[in-house]
């Protein structure tokens, strides 16, 4: 299965995305952030599909993106408070993503 990024014309193959999420990235904190983002996006898409199936109004993409951003920032904040300095760089990485 291939996913196409309409803005750039790049094609993302599902097996490649899965491999990156499974094996991770070079930095531990980047891997944790990547996996959490992947999980949050998968859940949000599943939820949106279910909302549409029962006939409720769907959310615009901008609302979905804002909700995901807030969800991820809140999760990083809760991890930073709970566990020592292990997750300190995650919020910085999240804000510098772009």
Question: Would you give per-residue pLDDT tens digits along the chain (98 residues)?
Answer: 444 555 555 666 778 878 888 888 778 878 888 888 889 999 999 999 999 999 998 889 999 999 999 999 998 888 877 766 777 778 888 888 75
Task: Residue 55: give the domain boundaries.
Answer: 28-95
Cβ(80)–Cβ(87) below 8 Å: yes
Residue corresponding to tokens 């904040």: 77
If one counts the domains in the chain, the total is 1
**Within a domain: residue 1?**
no
Q: Is 6 contained in some domain?
A: no
pTM over 0.75: no
Whether 66 maps to a domain, the answer reads yes
* Assigned domain for 12 exists: no
Whether the CB-CB separation of 76 and 87 falls below 8 Å is answered with yes
């Amino acid at each position: 299965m291939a996913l196409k990024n309409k803005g750039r014309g790049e094609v993302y193959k599902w097996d490649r995305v899965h491999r990156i999420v499974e094996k991770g990235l070079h930095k531990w904190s980047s891997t944790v952030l990547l996996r959490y983002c992947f999980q949050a996006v998968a859940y949000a898409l599943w939820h949106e599909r279910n909302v549409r199936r029962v006939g409720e109004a769907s959310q615009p993409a901008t609302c979905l993106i804002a909700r995901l951003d807030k969800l991820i920032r809140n999760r990083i904040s809760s991890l930073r408070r709970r566990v020592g300095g292990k997750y300190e760089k995650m919020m910085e990485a999240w804000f510098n993503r772009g």
